Structure 1
């Protein structure tokens, strides 16, 4: 051994002699001289096959400090580069690199983390090389933690400088070195770890995703092996990385949080802060990240079970899955559920705050997490209901569909796990205090999540509440009535044939929604579908069967206050829905319906209300046999309809509303007599009672009123005109030939044709001779009308009436034919008269 040591000493001595000249030249002022000296050092020390012990002996004692001085202060970048290369190779070939730390660490600290007034390394490639040298030395040191401990201040400066270095590769190398240091010296690292948190957090949002990944991983090591109190400073930044666009960054966060939950010192104190971050990974867009988060979560739950086996022994022995567990969901393990349950009171306030944040991404992530938490909490959700409901109310009015969908999923879980006696009482109490659409939205979701058997005892209570005017008639806002409809749909969907018990209340709600003005017309199809579903669960024949079952109660319901209705009364619109949507069933409630009309259509009542009722009546009279006369009893109420309803409202009154009422009243009369279900005797009764009124409405300002009045006159004359005073009728119809509207003039011409047909007996003909002659004269003036349609209609009237007194008509034709712009129609009329057997005695 002595001989071997002697041989090594001699070998080292020869190498030292070879180094003396280059080392001396390395101190010179000439850049080229220093470069040559560095080349000589390389040749003498590194390009020879020297034993490590010799390299350690010579390099450590002779070359290391000169090289480090060159590396620290040489103005030439090339010299510093060569010095770095030689230092790295020398340390790697030596057998005791830890001995270089007293000289190496100050230089690294000065060049990578300079103090104020000191000059750092300006070249980014050299800074990277220095960091690689540091990492290489750290790996080569046996018992690195103990060796590095005396140099904690320098180490902190080096790592902080690396983290803040503008060169991305230097940041990556610094993160790797930081993680290695933390793991290598856990007993000492906590003394310096706090100083590294700020540089880490400044770098965690770097634009290069690899840097962000490295920083997250380094942060995990710093907290794991450093001061745990720094966790509060780190978590907000890690939470932001949960929204990172790059999956690898989110994966790194999941791994770090999972490792902390498994191995962090004093982790029990931070469960409520770490659990939400890990569970957020279960909603990650990438399947691999979801699986990683789930794997960690199961490990955390299993570890917690083992550590707290005595506390949860009873739950382990008697644990069974709830009988109404949602389909498609896998129940979490007991340890996972217990972890959430015991920390939920600390998690929820912050989570609910995030759900109302102004940043959309935060709200989405928080709403997703809420669903997962409630799935774990199960029936323990009950004690947090007030906070949850208050948050869901607010968030469900959000415009973001994903957020609202997640909130409704959370509300469904409330329905699954929380007793309806608690959840419904709270929601209904809120609704009764201030009905809001978001409250109804949450209620509908809770109903949908509730098991049928558990919800059934509360069905009557819910239905009565929804049918209250304070709830069902609270607002005409689309959002509100849509959610009200959703509540009814949810009850039908969940309770099925149990809804028979509350069918009337639900029908009232649906009728109320249907009665909302047309600004929510798109809902009508959904309402009809709900009615069909309600009828189906009761085995009724569609909507008609539903109305037939409840018609008596519905008519009683809407008529309670009919003697005080105004145009703003919701019952007015509800009656319209019941009457027009029940089909033939309204004929079964004719007595009640006519009674309402008789009371509400008095001329002393609100004009706009009467207008709406007449519109409803006219709509029903268009198909009376399918509505009002479905039972064949409508004619029993004909006298009431004529005398008490139509006649008073046909009376002229000033004002636009009064004119509109006359128009709708005339429309009802026209629908009545044109429906062809009245017998001739009944038609005559109508004519005798209303003819004077119709003659008045022929002069109405409204074109539509005049038009329908002419049509009514024509129909009455055609059916039973012989019973009327034809003398009074003719002048009124002739006046309509002068009307500004072509449609009215044509209708008047048609009515005059019917008037002529009524004169069949000789006595009538003689009695009306003067009227007939006057009518000929007026009609001939219209035979030359600029409108060809009027000319044709007038020709048809004269053809019909000319058979009464053809000689008089021919005389009148000859008297005016020369005045006409064209004699064509006069010639046609004469030819027609001749074809009927008449001969001109003067020709």
Structure 2
């Protein structure tokens, strides 16, 4: 029966071939249209007639060679129809593999040569589609044609036509799966063209290349893995989410199914874990699921090794970030066992010149730390170096992810371990190779933020001592350095709260110093906020209470270093901040303060230091009842203060620095007189000394000195309450008269104000008869200024003269009448006379 059927099919095939004889002859005609028509007729007489696969097999065997010759036809349409017919036959015949000895060399000749033989890109696409069809229907029968297939794919994968590349990648995947036992021998040859095209401008092409690369490595040899991985890693930065998704799928498949995957875990794990921080939630979820599968599979494969850990698995009490679940045991173990191999690459990529690489590296580091947990400890030194670079990066995203990594490191590593190492870096930051001395401080703050209060508490003393050390808190005036030091204090207060009581003194020293080394207003504001926060955690009612606890220690701290103070020392500013911020508390610690002031204000001391301290004292003395004299004890030290500290600095010495010191001393004296510190009795006891120094100051070259001297004279006379010795008064007024001729309008005005106070102080002790010549001279001199070119001075002199009429109105009227005719204008004289007569 079978023989009969075979005979019938052979007769049918022979009949068809007889009907096609004329068409086959036409294929050799020179006319293009004739050849084209012949091919179309062949198609109608065979494929389109619905013949059985056996008949078509016989016909195809006879038509194959003429059709393959048509692939070289000069006419594009003829080549196109020939390719279609060949594809249709392969799809329909019962044994397509029997035609491979003829088809494969022909396709290799058209597609696999050094140069492109087929010029039409659409026809190249059709040929590659036929090739894919051949792989699909022939499968394992293509093993003998491995060389031809590889030769073709090497060229079509780098074809200029994107659709050809995509179809070639599809064909590559099918071919690798069809003959896995043979494919690996030539797979390496496809890696170079694949990597050459992986950065193609079309995203769909890049996707296809990635998928094909996955198959080539999966079914080929892993020797080329290193060549592929670097390109795969770059595609994780691709703008197309679909490309990134393709990388995730391929890498996940490798981790699950690659034969030699254990040898490449350390290279594949970073690629998959990087996708966990992808911007697209879909890719994150995909990577998470693939990673879970990888961990679970590895866990099963290594069940014996993990038995103890699985049996004694305890739920984590670590402070995981909100919304983050603890990874499975297999996933954690995979990271732990490969972390030492990952660290060198992480450190290198953290300093990469591409921003996106540095960002991705820091994101990956976070994921690795979440998996490694306390195993991070053995890599701490290398991790810290990496974080120093990241936290001082110029890009905000790198810094943000770096700080988050540092916080996670603080969660998992014991403070007892990292504090010791980090504080050594903090203290020696100036000698570190890093150009950013604040990096260790930044990392320290982030790590302490991640630490648990209970385990951080025992390390507080050590942290406080280092932060308050002069080599740390006085290391740099750079704003960023000071900000990081303040950040450490903020974190300590936030994490440890009232436990910070044991280091309240070091913290206060740091906060005081920060206000000294920086001129930035925001730094001062933040430091003051930290001081308030410190008071809150210690349950203190005010900042003054905090200073009351530590004032003696703070002053002793300054006294210990006083012998080394210089122009550029910040201790003088520390003293000012402590004295001013402590408010009334400073008045409780005068025994400790006075030695400091005595050393600072010695005439032999650096002028800059004396200038600074006098400025500070001026501020305190202006409000002495709430500062130095808050407890009424400053009077005990006042005589020493005046005779040993203040007045010696008013002695004239040559030089601008000395003049500046005298100005500041005068300012301090004025504050003493105006702030209510000096009583009437104290002023009268030192009447001679005060008057001598003030008279001398009225002759200073400095305009400011003369101005301050005039004001001080006014205050000096006012505090004395009309009890000054007449001789003292008579020594003062001539000097004030001189100042009315001063080159400075302000000094002239202050001199007139002082004369007005001088005149108002005259009482019964000042015998106008005895001191008649003095008053006469004073009136004469003042009347001359009623003719002053400055109208304001004229008015002020008029008011002074009106006030002076109380002393001796008769004498004043006589002197006014004498000079009236000599002045350019009678107006003010007449007003003055009218005033005298009316009183």
Q: CA deviation at 1:697?
A: 1.0
Q: After superposition, where does 1:405-554 map in structure 2 within 5 Å?
A: 405-435=400-430, 436-518=437-519, 520-554=520-554
Distance 1:284 1:821 in 2: 92
| Matching of residues 656-671 of structure 1 within 5 Å | 656-671=656-671
Q: In 1, Cα distance between the equivalents of 2:176 and 2:766? A: 127
- Greater Cα offset, 603-612 or 33-42: 33-42
Q: Distance in 1 between matches of 2:321 and 2:82?
A: 69
Matches for 1:557-706 after TM superposition, within 5 Å: 557-685=557-685, 687-706=687-706
Range moving further from structure 2, 671-680 or 593-602: 671-680
C-alpha distance in 2 between matches for 1:42 and 1:308: 60
Distance 1:639 1:267 in 2: 88
2:94 corresponding residue in structure 1: 95
Please show how residues 816-827 of structure 1 align to structure 2 within 5 Å: 816-817=819-820, 820=823, 822-827=825-830
Which residue of 202, 207, 225 corresponds with 2:196?
202
Judge conservation of contact 2:128–2:167 (CA < 8 Å) in 1.
yes
Contact 1:447 / 1:491 at 8 angstroms: preserved in 2? yes
Question: Any idea what the Cα deviations from partners look like across 1:559-613, whole Å, max 9, x if unmatched?
Answer: 1233453223332222112111111111111122122212221111111111111
Are residues 553 and 719 of structure 1, via their aligned partners in 2, closer, same or farther at CA, if it must alter by over 3 Å? closer
Partner of 1:841: none
Alignment partner for residue 136 of structure 1, among 123, 130, 133?
Answer: 133
1:18 and 2:19 are equivalent in the alignment: yes
Deviation at 1:544, TM superposition (A): 1.3
Residue 763 of structure 1, CA deviation: 5.6
- In structure 2, the partner of 1:788 is 791
Q: TM-score, normalised by structure 1?
A: 0.94
Contact kept, 8 Å, 2:350 with 2:389, in 1: the verdict is no
Pair 1:169-2:163 in alignment: yes
Which residue of the partner structure matches residue 365 of structure 1?
360
Question: What is the match of residue 769 of structure 1?
Answer: 772
Distance 1:179 1:588, change over 3 A: same
- Which residue pairs with 1:53 in the alignment? 54
C-alpha distance in 2 between matches for 1:718 and 1:702: 25
* 1:311 match: secondary structure: coil
Corresponding residue number in structure 1 for 2:226: 232
The alpha carbon displacement at 1:687 in A equals 4.2
Paired position in structure 2 for 1:187: 181
CA distance, structure 2, for counterparts of residue 833 and residue 286 of structure 1: 95
For residues 34 and 831 of structure 1, do their structure 2 counterparts lie closer, same or farther at Cα, with a shift above 3 Å needed?
Answer: same
Please report how far the alpha carbon of residue 528 of structure 1 lies from its aligned counterpart in structure 2 after TM superposition. 1.6
d(CA) in 2 for partners of 1:544 and 1:760? 46
Hey, what's the Cα distance between the residues in 1 that align with 2:454 and 2:151? 68
Quote the Cα distance in structure 2 between the aligned partners of 1:821 and 1:13. 148
Structure 2: distance between partners of 1:717 and 1:275: 87
Secondary structure of the residue aligned to 1:704 is helix
- Tell me how far 1:507 sits from its aligned partner: 1.9
Partner in structure 2 of residue 121 of structure 1: 118
Q: Deviations over 1:103-155 (max 9, x none)?
A: 2212222222213xx651111111111111211232233xx12x111111110
Match among 384, 387, 411 for residue 379 of structure 2: 384
| 1:164-203 deviations in Å (ceiling 9; x for gaps) | 0111111111111111111121111111210000010011
Distance verdict in 2 for CA 1:834–1:265, change over 3 Å: same
Instruction: Give the Cα–Cα distance (whole angstroms) in 2 for the partners of residues 28 and 767 of structure 1.
Output: 152
Higher mean displacement: 790-799 or 309-318: 790-799
CA distance in 2 between counterparts of 1:379 and 1:517 reads 38
| Count of residues in Structure 1 that have an aligned counterpart in Structure 2 | 828
After TM superposition, list the pairs within 5 Å mapping 1:676-825 onto structure 2: 676-685=676-685, 687-720=687-720, 721-724=722-725, 725-761=728-764, 764-817=767-820, 820=823, 822-825=825-828
**Which residue matches 2:434?**
none
Question: Is the contact made by 2:760 and 2:803 (CA closer than 8 Å) also made in structure 1?
Answer: yes
* 1:36 equivalent in alignment to 2:37: yes
The 1:156–1:823 alpha-carbon spacing in structure 2 relative to 1, beyond 3 Å, is farther
**Cα deviation 1:535-576 (Å, max 9, x = unaligned):** 222211232111111111111111123345322333222211
CA distance in 2, matches of 1:113, 1:819: 124
- Tell me, in whole angstroms, the C-alpha distance in 2 between the residues paired with 1:762 and 1:275: 101
**Compared CA separation, residues 81 and 822, structure 1 to 2 (3 A):** farther
**Contact 1:159–1:174 at 8 Å: present in 2 too?**
yes
Mapped partners of 1:599, 1:263: distance in 2: 80
Distance 2:86 2:318 in 1: 71
Say yes or no: does 1:108 pair with 2:102: no
Q: Deviation of residue 253 (structure 1)?
A: 0.7
C-alpha distance in structure 2 between counterparts of 1:628 and 1:604, whole Å: 25
Is contact 1:110–1:119 with CA below 8 Å preserved after alignment?
no
Deviation at 1:664, TM superposition (A): 0.9
Q: Deviations over 1:617-666 (max 9, x none)?
A: 11111211111111111222211121111111111111111111111111
3-state secondary structure, aligned to 1:723? coil
Aligned CA distance change for structure 1 residues 327 and 135 (closer, same or farther; 3 Å) = closer
Structure 2 residue aligned with 1:839: none
Asked if the contact 1:642–1:686 (Cα under 8 Å) also holds between the matched residues in 2, the reply is no
Q: Distance in 1 between matches of 2:766 and 2:448?
A: 80
Distance change (3 Å), C-alpha of 1:484 and 1:763:
closer
The one of 214, 224, 241 aligned to 1:247: 241
User: Whole-Å Cα distance in 2 between the matches of residues 566 and 49 of structure 1?
Assistant: 107
The offset of 1:29, in angstroms, is 2.4
Q: Can you give the 5+ residue segments of structure 1 that lack an aligned partner in the other structure?
A: 837-843
* In structure 1, distance between residues paired with 2:530 and 2:80: 82
**Per-residue deviation at 1:510?**
2.1
- Asked if the contact 1:563/1:600 (under 8 Å) is kept, the reply is no
Over 3 Å counting, the alpha-carbon distance change for 1:7 and 1:663 in structure 2 is same
* Partners of 1:196 and 1:679 in 2: CA distance: 101
Aligned residue in 1 for 2:85 = 86
Q: Is 1:829 the counterpart of 2:837 in the alignment?
A: no
Query: Contact 1:414–1:423 at 8 Å: present in 2 too?
Result: no
Structure 2 partner of 1:75: 74
Structure 1 equivalent of residue 253 of structure 2: 259
Q: Please list the CA deviations of residues 479-526 of structure 1 after superposition, one character each: whole Å capped at 9, or x if unmatched.
A: 3332222222222222222222222222222222222242x4421222
Post-superposition shift, 1:272? 0.6
The question of 1:27 aligning with 2:21 is answered no
* Mapped partners of 2:410, 2:85: distance in 1: 72
Output the CA distance in 1 between the equivalents of 2:816 and 2:766.
25
Question: Quick one: distance in 1 between partners of 2:425 and 2:753?
Answer: 65
Question: Does 1:404 pair with 2:404?
Answer: no
8 A contact 1:642–1:690 mirrored in 2:
no
Distance 1:467 1:605 in 2: 27
Q: Distance in 2 between matches of 1:458 and 1:119?
A: 73
The 1-side partners of 2:320 and 2:681 are apart by 69
Q: 286, 305, 308: which one pairs with 1:311?
A: 305
User: Does the C-alpha gap of structure 1 residues 46 and 693 become closer, same or farther in structure 2, counting only changes over 3 Å?
Assistant: same
CA-atom RMSD in angstroms? 2.0
Shift of 1:286: 0.8
Please give the alpha-carbon distance, in whole angstroms, between the structure 2 residues aligned to 1:763 and 1:31: 141
CA distance in 1, matches of 2:106, 2:10: 30
What per-residue deviation string (whole Å, max 9, x for no partner) do you get for residues 7-35 of structure 1?
A: 43333222211211111121222223322
Once the two structures are TM-superposed, the CA of residue 325 in structure 1 deviates from its matched residue by 3.4
Farther off after superposition, 301-310 or 805-814: 805-814
SS at match of 2:186: helix
Q: Distance in 1 between matches of 2:678 and 2:765?
A: 30
**Deviation per residue, 1:269-290 (Å, 9 max, x gap):** 1111111111111111111111
